[in-house]
Structure 1
């Protein structure tokens, strides 16, 4: 009799546990066959070039779904156009959570928009994963434990350029042209921080609006300063114009270009590859148009992805690689979750990536996270354009932000 009672109790406990597990798995946004993921992107207006990131993420998940999805579930990626407006981003995010019933928000673009939705998502304990922003404040688990960045810090990118200038061009005069928004200010501030007491070597810096039609005038002013080093931080289309303008003015400074504006296909080639010779940037992803990776790309998922991405209207190669890599990272997190797709489990696994090597990360750059380490990518590598391909300058660099989190 006692044996029968113990058996009955064990069965009841097992069924209770199974019910709890099933209930946990069936949290909002998850069914036996589907995982719903929300996203907002600037598909129109001034920053629409970065909407290509969202198109790349959609193409990646389409490719994964055709292969059976993640742990037997298809990913339903729901992405809306916030037109780079923070209030619109908040309204759309609320709709994704309360009407589309997404499990989590993933990869939404821009610092202002992610700031606008951060409090709402954290209060409701909804993961805000791998945001497309390099702002350090979007990777602080002590204040916002449901928000995690992905890419390297924008300010740290600026500091790396400053360190390079000090190491190889000490005492040289510096000028800068930077986009007058949160991104541009953060990168330029990083340069100033990195230069420290010698920031006085920045002879002229000009902040320009993204709709500015007088880039030629700005570059002319910078040339007349007599500077030997020119730092540019802006969108790819403006990088193309600035490279071409400098060449037309027969000005050939050491040219440092921010990472997101450095695609060979969409920034350097339209400017004239001969004009872009010697351009320097800090990279963490492979450039899809770099012939150095051609053979490698032909043997992995890239050709299938590119076909779907092009049909989705994607254009910018760097944005394609960025979206692919971010989506690949989220897929790894969801795989690690197994059958426990509660929001708590998603955040736990997002903070448990150990030396994950995504397929389009540069060699030597891996993704690691932890309970107090919410910046997945903490390394950059300086590269220089030789007229055909990017050549590495020195070793992979660990950022000060990375050291601060150890």
Structure 2
């Protein structure tokens, strides 16, 4: 009997030892290039010079948020080393900087690289290298193509989804509308137009009375606005970028055309678009937003705004807290931080993408009711927007949040 007990105890001890080895193996830290026990290396490029240098503040505010995290001890005990380079909004330069970040700096992930053309230029390279091109700072629909580009994911609401949201609003509120559409003849304009027409469904055939486009090289869109008025359209879906948006608002007023006016999110800035067009001319314009505008007084007593403002004052004192682009960088960095927290000690590139496709969170400076959700077959983190209407000086919310 004693021999039997000794043998049984020995077997238990062996089993326990084996289990311990298995648990130890499971608990082992796993790293790819760019991650260690003490550091996580994150790459970025942004246009700090060139024609779109105003967008460079997105990269700076994101970096400032990582500084804040580092001052608080980092993420899971590791400090963020953020390497942000200037691509001057030039696709060839973006290719050069992406290669430098991946091959020389050996970053774990390329985070929030900005611009549609720049990111299109590096997308195949990043996927061939199997390095995350994560939370691309652009609304192009292509960043959600998880089947063909499993290492690329966007962050901004896609232009396609925004177009669908305008269609939802028109169908619900003006089902007899006669719609005229102006769009920019590039990926931005075509993405949004395609989303709008898909959102309209079969109604597009009867409700859309005219579509017209313009080129970025065109001096004005005056002739297009005259043609849209002549079409009999009583609803204007304006899918244009800031310069042409301001022109179209002013021209419509000049010729006495007063349609229900829907304006793309990229062009709804009061200071950059509506003031140059004339605030009275812009009164009544409908748009959509997902990030709270920090310049609006209604947010400034909220805890979320106060936290953001304090962050800007301490970690990015040269930045303008009223610039919504800084809210974008701040919010994107918070999303990246959540992915790293979820990844824990398993800091491989494959696991970073796995966790990026497993998000269900809210962000303090998004509109209430808008969240961040992803899945293995859903690479579009934000898919909702709040409809807003310009009252002549600021925007009011209009109805409920729309989207998926």
Report the TM-score when normalising by structure 1: 0.84
Determine the C-alpha separation between the residues in 1 that align with 2:305 and 2:118. 36
Cα distance, 1:9 vs structure 2: 6.7
Secondary structure at the aligned position of 1:65 is classed as: helix
Is 1:228 the counterpart of 2:268 in the alignment? Answer: no
Distance 1:174 1:242 in 2: 16
Structural RMSD (CA): 3.2
Helix, strand or coil at the partner of 1:301 = helix
Counterpart check, 1:365 vs 2:370: yes
Structure with larger Rg: 2
**Structure-to-structure mapping, 1:324-335, within 5 angstroms:** 324-335=330-341
- Structure 1 residue 333, shift from structure 2 partner: 1.1
Q: 1:11 to 1:373 in 2, by over 3 A?
A: closer
Mapped to 2, the partners of 1:66 and 1:216 lie a distance apart of 52
How many angstroms does 1:160 deviate by?
Answer: 1.9
Stretch moving more, 125-134 or 218-227: 218-227
Deviation at 1:14, TM superposition (A): 8.7
Residues 265-284 of structure 1, C-alpha deviations (whole Å, 9 max, x = no match): 43334444333221111222
Task: Assess if the C-alpha contact under 8 Å between 1:53 and 1:323 holds in 2.
Answer: yes
Confirm or deny: 8 A CA contact 1:172 1:228 kept in the other structure.
Answer: yes
Deviation at 1:316, TM superposition (A): 8.1
290, 308, 311: which one aligns with 1:304: 311
Matched, 1:385 2:390: yes
Question: Structure 1 stretches of 5 or more lacking a match?
Answer: 400-406
| Distance (Å, rounded) in 2 between the aligned partners of 1:380 and 1:294 | 20
One of 270, 289, 293 as aligned partner of 1:264: 270
Assess if the C-alpha contact under 8 Å between 1:49 and 1:316 holds in 2: no
Tell me by how many angstroms 1:62 deviates: 3.0
Matches within 5 A, 1:14-53: 17=25, 21-22=28-29, 24-25=30-31, 27-53=32-58
Cα distance between partner residues in 1 of 2:321 and 2:218: 23
Matched, 1:78 2:88: no
1:403 aligns with none
Equivalent position to 2:197, from 179, 186, 192: 192
**1:145 matched to 2:150:** yes
Assess, with a 3 A threshold, how the Cα gap between structure 1 residues 367 and 254 changes in structure 2: closer, same or farther.
same
Deviates more, 1:372-381 or 1:244-253: 244-253
Paired with 2:24 and 2:53, the residues of 1 have a C-alpha distance of 50
Contact between 1:42 and 1:48, CA under 8 Å: does it hold in 2?
Answer: yes
Q: Which string of whole-angstrom CA distances, capped at 9 and with x for unpartnered residues, describes residues 199-251 of structure 1?
A: 45444433223343223444344334442222222333443343334334443
Question: Corresponding residue for 2:287?
Answer: 281
Q: Distance in 2 between matches of 1:149 and 1:379?
A: 14
The 1-side partners of 2:314 and 2:228 are apart by 42
Match of 1:402 in 2: none
2:218 aligned to 212, 215, 229, which one? 212
* Offset of residue 58 of structure 1: 2.5
Post-superposition CA distance 1:138-160 (Å, at most 9, x none):
22333332222222231121122
The residue correspondences of 1:100-139 to structure 2 (distance < 5 A) are: 100-139=105-144
- Is 38-47 or 125-134 further displaced after alignment? 38-47
Which of the two has greater strand per residue? 2
Give yes or no for contact 1:259–1:282 (8 Å, CA) kept in 2: yes
Residues 1:316 and 1:107: Cα distance change in structure 2 (over 3 Å):
farther
The runs of 5 or more residues in structure 2 that have no matched partner are 1-5
**Alpha carbons 2:293, 2:322 under 8 Å: kept:** no
Give distance in 2, aligned partners of 1:311 and 1:383.
30
Distance in 2 (alpha carbons) for counterparts of 1:249 and 1:73 = 60
The equivalent residue for 2:327 is: 321
Q: Provide closer, same or farther for how the CA distance between residues 12 and 359 of structure 1 changes in structure 2, counting only shifts above 3 A.
A: closer
Aligned to 2:156, the other structure's residue is in SS state coil
Correspondence for 1:93: 98
CA contact (8 A) 1:263 1:289 kept: no
**Greater shift in the superposed pair: 8-17 or 68-77:** 8-17
Separation (CA, whole Å) in 2 of partners of 1:289 and 1:248: 29
Counterparts of 1:388-399 in structure 2, within 5 Å, are 388-399=393-404
